[in-house]
Amino acid sequence: MSRPKKIADDCRSVSCPSKRDCILSAAQEIFLEMGYGAASMDAVAARANVSKATIYAHFDNKRALFDQVIRGRCRRFFQGGDILAQVDAASDARSALRQFASDLLSIILSPGALAINRVVVAEAPRLPEVGETYYAAGPVPAQARVTAMFNDLTRRGLLAVPENEAPLVAELFLNMLKGDLHTRALLGVAPSRDDHAPLVRIAVELILARYGARPSAVSGGP
Amino acid sequence: MSRPKKIADDCRSVSCPSKRDCILSAAQEIFLEMGYGAASMDAVAARANVSKATIYAHFDNKRALFDQVIRGRCRRFFQGGDILAQVDAASDARSALRQFASDLLSIILSPGALAINRVVVAEAPRLPEVGETYYAAGPVPAQARVTAMFNDLTRRGLLAVPENEAPLVAELFLNMLKGDLHTRALLGVAPSRDDHAPLVRIAVELILARYGARPSAVSGGP
DNA sequence: GTCTATATACGGATAGAC
DNA sequence: GTCTATCCGTATATAGAC
């Protein structure tokens, strides 16, 4: 009975530097899996092994907590430079585009990305700034990255995308990849096919058919 | 003082055949503008000029009411054959695709379609059947319609899409159109450009570059 | 079937001791 | 800063009269 005071000092796990981070981590889990409306501060407190009062000592109210959670996730997305890593080393346009497409799909369709997407879309009408933040941290850098890639491939003579068209083409390329797969994943509808190779292949061929530098062997490639 | 009984017999408006329909109509408005979580049965009752008890006489609980509302909207989408009306009369592939694209965008980006999309996506994890119903009533028929259009244009010699590739190409075409515009609209981010003409134009040219029947004048067209 | 009135609980937020 | 205990509004759902 020497130390009856400090009982629940650990936040259920490692990697909880401060109580504040511990709360943010728990809140993120709760919000992403239950949605903003269904999530309760009690649930967050329980998961964080903290009392509700402690939460309110760090955050003004539920909405502010939610805001910080989303902003935190967005920052991590943005900082994660590993996302959409370099494909510049690739030899030809076809393989560069394909590799890029695969990487992008695996990111966009990951459970974490889907969860945050759902929550942000759901609350965007009530929290416009959250929508803006998310858009600026996800789609905007992705599109910039693809635009740069098109310009680079064109500069190297592997593609022929006019520089003023590049942003629009980048948008269309991203759209082609994301589209229906993303919709299905968001809605919880079982995907029609488990691998995305055919879709990626034809999307790439559509780009090459119009913007390929050479007459471009239109066949599927390796 | 002859008829002091029947006071609130009208549901605030015309076109309320039964009380049930009146409740459904009010619930639709509330759910779509507030989201499932934030919507209250009191609000629905008030908007429908009905008591809460009456609602519970017609629907088991809030979730069941929501389910019926979504299913109703989906049915209307599906029946609305006017959606994506015929473009078969168009003379050439380019104008057919463009007209189709414009029609589709105006539907997908309409406030009503966006609102239902938001709530369905938000609640899909908790209500899987709603997600399925929505997907079957929206994206599936749209894609089938585009596939049919591609096959038709090919049959008429205006396009050269292999029949087994048509569904995938239809998906890619829809994806190109929907993509970022839809994302922005869902998130409440101001659209980058107010008209969609450039995006539609290039999307169509991408299709024509690979699947155009003739060598296809690649320039922008009229 | 429809209403008024109410049971019951839960959630956001706070008071006050330590 | 953190806890326990609580206030108070609101929300779902129901009881019972008509």
DSSP string, chain B: ----S--S-S-SSS---SHHHHHHHHHHHHHHHH-TTT--HHHHHHHHT--HHHHHHHSSSHHHHHHHHHHHHHHHHHH-TTTT---TT-SSHHHHHHHHHHHHHHHHTSHHHHHHHHHHHHHTTT-HHHHHHHHHHTHHHHHHHHHHHHHHHHHTTSB---TTTHHHHHHHHHHHHHHHHHHHHHHTPPPS-S--HHHHHHHHHHHHHHHBSSS---S---
Among B215, B218, B221, which Cα is nearest to B197's?
B221
Higher confidence at residue A52 or residue B217?
A52
pLDDT value of position A221: 46
A188, pLDDT greater than 70: yes
**Residues A135-153: tens digit of each pLDDT:** 999 999 999 999 999 999 9
Among A164, A155, A173, A169, which Cα is nearest to A213's?
A155
Among A161, A181, A185, A186, which Cα is nearest to A171's?
A161
Among B119, B139, B203, beta carbon nearest to A183: B139
A116 φ, ψ (degrees, to nearest 5):
-70, -35
Name the amino acid, one letter, at A26.
Answer: A
Q: Where residue B194 falls among pLDDT bands split at 50, 70, 90?
A: confident
Q: Where residue B129 falls among pLDDT bands split at 50, 70, 90?
A: very high
Q: Where residue A216 falls among pLDDT bands split at 50, 70, 90?
A: very low
Provide the shortest C-alpha distance from residue A107 to chain B (in Å): 16
Q: Where residue B192 falls among pLDDT bands split at 50, 70, 90?
A: confident
pLDDT value of position A149: 92
Q: Where residue B83 falls among pLDDT bands split at 50, 70, 90?
A: low
The rounded mean pLDDT for chain A is 87
Question: How far is residue A183 from each of residues A37, B36, B133, measured CA to CA in Å?
Answer: 22, 20, 13
B1, pLDDT greater than 60: no
pLDDT value of position A89: 66
- Report the C-alpha gap between B21 and B54 in whole angstroms: 12
CA–centroid distance for A130 within its chain: 14
A60, pLDDT greater than 50: yes
- Residue with the two structure tokens 């599927």: A220
A220, pLDDT greater than 50: no
Look at B38 and A35 and tell me if their CB atoms are within 8 Å.
no
State the nucleotide closest to B39 in CA–C1' terms.
D11
**Residues A173-184: tens digit of each pLDDT:** 999 999 999 999
Question: Do A118 and A186 touch, CB atoms closer than 8 A?
Answer: yes
Nucleotides of D under 7 A from a protein CB: 1-6, 10-16
Q: Where residue B193 falls among pLDDT bands split at 50, 70, 90?
A: confident
Q: Where residue A165 falls among pLDDT bands split at 50, 70, 90?
A: very high
pTM over 0.85: yes
- Report the C-alpha gap between B133 and B135 in whole angstroms: 5
pLDDT value of position B17: 74
The sign of the torsion formed by the CA atoms of B105, B158, B92, A215 equals positive
B215, pLDDT greater than 80: no
In 3-state terms, what secondary structure has residue A107?
Answer: helix
**Residues B20-40: tens digit of each pLDDT:** 999 999 999 999 999 999 999
pLDDT value of position A5: 37
Look at A171 and B179 and tell me if their CB atoms are within 8 Å.
yes
